[in-house]
Structure 1
């Protein structure tokens, strides 16, 4: 299964993450009215979004169909769950009986089974066509079950949800109606996205924006449910709210004396709450924050019974132009800062570990692609690098040289394998010193070497190999070898004249090398061109 990650796949994945985050938020606020159905709704949208991301990432049509079937878990249940959320808003408890829920989810269940077995009947999808817009999109042809069971039932459920919200506009008090309008506006987003998809007016043919629209709708619902308290407005006395707050609250007069404080403030400052009243701020760091920070948030460190880092926010209390005092809100962020410090240290340790692993991987890769005796690249590197560059057309022209040391067996027999190894190392150093950065020098076995010369034509290749041969035939004393002359035979092939694949070039070079050996050794031959019948001696 091949993957192609596109911006559209990222967009669908973002929709899934957005829905999953809203689902977790709703689950965290599970005691809030309406949170149960919002949790299920966002879970379905998350499945839809993640399925869409995978469908937009895989390239095989069969794999796309499999992920489309996975998407249908969310596609078919999302409208019903949205209707149930709207029913919960209207306190329609009779819709939540088990029998009623089973009836509501029966059509989606049937449609999902039809999607799973679509290959047998084609009632959901009739065809699969790559989108002309590209982006790895697929256009689905739809059958009668899709239009009736998927589109028809889903739109009916969304319509009923909209009617429930309209009903709430009339029966709820005025202070609730703005929130119902917000829900109704959010409900229109998926309709708009699905209309663009079904009508073919989507910006890209085959792109379904519905899961993203539902994810945005979920965010609006979460804000309305948990921030604006859409389903319940419980009046809480301000004094009780102040006492119950986890953040410390200090009310200061214009002179900076504490006139009121909640229990949390006393706990954060390590003093009884009543002892704070009528006194200046007990901590010099807070006093400095009061004098310098004004309304800007700041952080102070309080040293008392324990090390504490406080986030301090100041708000002016005024009536018209008259300043009555200031409100100081204290939040304990010690754990957050300690966690951040630990995370920072862990990140540095992880970074060092990653760099160590990368260095080890690079070293291991070098060991895998290098000949341990000579340090030249080996056949594996030649096959991986040269074959890939030739196949991808990254070279307009190239020469491949196959070199074999003449009478190397005699060297080993007369002087020993240590001397033979030194000859191999000497030739490797000569070739690496005489080639360019982009050239590839490989020892492919025994006394055979391959040199790939990108961007090199016949005459240039012949001249280069002749220089190597002449240098190799004149062994300098500092080389430490027990003879003054060595020789090699070489066969040259040209890309793309002799072939466009590595194996073809190697075979042609081997033929030319054989001709050089047969011609007396210590010579260079060019492989015959397609219209020639014999190899061409280089010199």
Structure 2
């Protein structure tokens, strides 16, 4: 516990001391008067009686003043002890405490100074705005103005603080107002939450990374089937309400099993990655491409007609055929077959549309591979085998 600091005499003490001095002057004046009275032939008895009366009055008044001074001194000692105890508690506080008066810090505790990296003397030379990041100064200044004008008596908010060394820190503040002699003093209690905010941001980034992993294929970087179902459901619902169209293109790498058997599964992975890269290079912002499973891929084209979707599929087919995958110095030629289906012509639901695209893909496989088939017909006009679904492909891999 710190030693109590010496307290300057209060206004009451000064007034009492002046009263004692005044009474002493009265005594001297009365004594002088008594002497003059004696020279004017007053009786000795009269002088004595006057002197005794005055001394009694002075003694009584002096006793009252002495008692009052003793009470004041006792109160001051208690106040000094209480203030020392308060300062001891505040100086050990885990939160920063500051009082702003006339646009300057009139008091700050040790924690407040530590938060911003200033000494007590330094922080009294700067404006409160100097402890706020440039981005947040306007908002903090507005809060201070509301409290000074009486629009608000309390305020709770977070802001980014600016340390003496230029570092940005995250703070939470509770502000209140104290009126003293008609003046509004701003009291601020600050908590440094930089570590907590940083941990929250890291957690949020981790959650976002996990979310991205949950909807992406780790090998190709394309979306996975889980995300496809959510995305395609939304697009079909929107197209149904607006009377629009949605096309899908189902793709399958030709002779993929032969690639794995001849070059190895790592080479097969390289082929799939190359296919994914080609798809990324040929999609619009509104499109969505995913790895549907194994060597199958699916492209969703919102707002595209069947003809437009067929043209896009043909572009992909040519781009893939022109791609040379090199594995262990050995080039691998890659082609793929494509099936196109369009909502609502080929299906009204996700399953129906995917099944129609898969049926068209089956036809492309069955009629020679490395080609695009549309809906229920091939380019040569052959009908799609009825009832063929996307889970029952009979074409060779």
TM-score, reference length from structure 2: 0.51
Q: Deviations over 1:53-105 (max 9, x none)?
A: xxxxxxxxxxxxxxxxxxxxxxxxxxxxxxxxxxxxxxxxxxxxxxxxxxxxx
1:447 aligns with 2:295: yes
Kept in 2: contact 1:526–1:535 (CA 8 A): no
Match for residue 526 of structure 1? 374
- Counterpart CA distance in 2 for 1:258 and 1:397 is 98
Match for residue 106 of structure 2? 300
Matches within 5 A, 1:273-288: none
Distance 1:383 1:267, change over 3 A: same
- Counterpart CA distance in 2 for 1:503 and 1:403 is 16
Q: Select which of 349, 354, 378 maps to 2:224.
A: 378
Kept in 2: contact 1:313–1:329 (CA 8 A): yes
Distance 1:351 1:535, change over 3 A: same
Q: Select which of 198, 222, 228 maps to 1:352.
A: 198
- Counterpart CA distance in 1 for 2:257 and 2:211 is 31
More strand by share: 2
Q: Deviations over 1:106-152 (max 9, x none)?
A: xxxxxxxxxxxxxxxxxxxxxxxxxxxxxxxxxxxxxxxxxxxxxxx
SS at match of 2:190: helix
Distance 1:256 1:415, change over 3 A: farther
Distance 1:311 1:447, change over 3 A: closer
Match for residue 272 of structure 2? 424
Q: Deviations over 1:351-399 (max 9, x none)?
A: 2222111100111111111111111111111112222332344873221
- Counterpart CA distance in 2 for 1:486 and 1:526 is 22
Distance 1:313 1:257, change over 3 A: farther
Match for residue 146 of structure 2? none
SS at match of 1:437: coil
- Counterpart CA distance in 1 for 2:271 and 2:228 is 22
Note the C-alpha offset of 1:527.
0.8
- Counterpart CA distance in 1 for 2:278 and 2:329 is 14
1:409 aligns with 2:257: yes
Distance 1:330 1:461, change over 3 A: closer
1:433 aligns with 2:299: no
SS at match of 1:500: coil
For the aligned residue pairs, the C-alpha RMSD in angstroms reads 4.5
Kept in 2: contact 1:300–1:312 (CA 8 A): no
- Counterpart CA distance in 1 for 2:17 and 2:315 is 93
Match for residue 399 of structure 1? 247
Distance 1:315 1:461, change over 3 A: same
Note the C-alpha offset of 1:265.
5.4
Note the C-alpha offset of 1:417.
1.0
Matches within 5 A, 1:41-56: none
Distance 1:464 1:330, change over 3 A: closer
- Counterpart CA distance in 2 for 1:385 and 1:408 is 28
Kept in 2: contact 1:490–1:525 (CA 8 A): yes
- Counterpart CA distance in 2 for 1:257 and 1:508 is 105
Q: Deviations over 1:26-71 (max 9, x none)?
A: xxxxxxxxxxxxxxxxxxxxxxxxxxxxxxxxxxxxxxxxxxxxxx
Match for residue 180 of structure 2? 314
- Counterpart CA distance in 2 for 1:454 and 1:298 is 61
Kept in 1: contact 2:341–2:374 (CA 8 A): yes
1:467 aligns with 2:333: no
Kept in 2: contact 1:299–1:312 (CA 8 A): no
TM-score, reference length from structure 1: 0.38
Note the C-alpha offset of 1:414.
1.3
SS at match of 1:341: strand
- Counterpart CA distance in 2 for 1:504 and 1:477 is 34
Match for residue 388 of structure 1? 234
Question: Unaligned 5+ residue runs, structure 1?
Answer: 1-249, 272-285, 317-327
SS at match of 1:399: strand
- Counterpart CA distance in 1 for 2:384 and 2:341 is 10
Q: Which has the larger radius of gyration?
A: 2
Match for residue 499 of structure 1? 347
Distance 1:527 1:426, change over 3 A: same
Larger RCO, structures 1/2 (Cα 8 Å, 6+ apart): 2
SS at match of 2:220: coil
Question: Unaligned 5+ residue runs, structure 2?
Answer: 1-8, 19-68, 86-98, 114-119, 121-175, 386-397
Q: Deviations over 1:402-442 (max 9, x none)?
A: 00111111111111111111111111100111111221111
Distance 1:412 1:362, change over 3 A: same
